[in-house]
Amino acid sequence: MQTSIVDETSNVWSNSLPPSKEIVSISSEHSPRKHRNGLFHTQHDPNSNSESGEEDSDNASQSVVLEVKNAHKTYLLGLEGVPAIRGVDLCVHRGEFVIIVGKSGSGKSSLLNILGTVDSPTRGELSIAGYTFHDKVSDRIVSQIRLNAIGFVFQTFNLIPGMTAAQNIELPLILKGELTRSQRREAVDELLQRVGMAERRDHYPSQLSGGEQQRVSIARGLANSPDLLLLDEPTGDLDTLNTIRIMNLLGE
């Protein structure tokens, strides 16, 4: 698995991991899927041994799970605009593990919200799992893409208070509608086991600590085996042992 780090304050890319406390947000890919061709273009390597340069270009295009070009986000404050992100370019390939780091207020969460289709850029282009977003895309289509292609772990967890840990994890599986009840139960139990929450499956968010809610949120984000997994400070409330557990799980 290739790992990259993006410094949001300087646009510098690095190939070494920072200490775990510096991990702000991670985007990762799971569950290979076939995507439409022609949305992304990658320069062909003339030294490649491939028999067909066009075939290599198509394969490279299909390996791109996320691409954002010249993204800007400006929030209106009275009559003035407050820029959160300016001119961000990012391309994430299938199997790549990307970490975005930067000081507080540098726009990391704003960028993540755009990548997760929770918010829209003021201007710029966004493509996820073969779909290019534009102003004419309906909310229904955006919701379907979000359900099928994106897993999002929020910094504030965003668990549904009236649902147990198991029910929160099961919800995206119900919405997707591909599994039977027994299959969903099996999938939920496996995810709870993987994040170390099997004994807390019937507890409500108010009965869970911050770290426990965070692990449930991560399990929910993984439930539908998304093409793109976005996490906002995924280990911020975890102790050392559970941080290692979660990072190993994400590394798979």
Q: At residue 35, does pLDDT exceed 50? A: no
The pLDDT score that the predictor gives to residue 130 is 86
**Most confident option among 46-55, 120-129, 139-148, 201-210:** 201-210
Report pTM: 0.73
- Tell whether the model's pLDDT for residue 114 goes beyond 80: yes
Strand-pair category, 228-232 with 150-153? parallel
**pLDDT in the model for residue 89:** 95
Does this chain's domain 62-137 share its CATH topology with 157-251? yes
In the structure, what pLDDT confidence band is assigned to residue 42 with cuts at 50, 70 and 90? very low
Per residue in 75-91, pLDDT (tens digit) is 988 888 899 999 999 99
pLDDT of 123 over the 60 cut: yes
The pLDDT-based confidence of 24 (bands split at 50, 70, 90) is: very low
* Mean pLDDT value of segment 167-179: 97
Question: Is the pLDDT reported for residue 103 higher than 70?
Answer: yes
Domain 157-251 annotated CATH 3.90.1150.10: no
The domain spans of the chain are 62-137, 157-251
CB atoms within 10 A of CB 31: 13
Question: Would you call 3 exposed, middle or buried from its count of C-beta atoms within 10 A (0-12, 13-18, 19+)?
Answer: middle
- What band does 15 get if pLDDT is binned at 50, 70 and 90? very low
Class of domain 62-137: alpha beta
Phi-psi region of 14 (alpha: psi -120 to 50; beta: other; left: phi over 0): beta
When pLDDT is cut at 50, 70 and 90, the band that residue 150 belongs to is: very high
Torsion of CA 165, 171, 177, 179, to 10 degrees: -10
Q: Which residues contact 134 (CB under 8 A, 6 or more apart)?
A: none
- 124 and 71 Cβ atoms separated by less than 8 Å: yes
- In this prediction, residue 129 carries a pLDDT of 87
pLDDT of residue 29: 39
pLDDT of residue 210: 93
Query: What backbone phi and psi angles, to 5 degrees, belong to 4?
Result: -135, 155
| CA distance linking residue 185 with residue 176, whole number of Å | 14
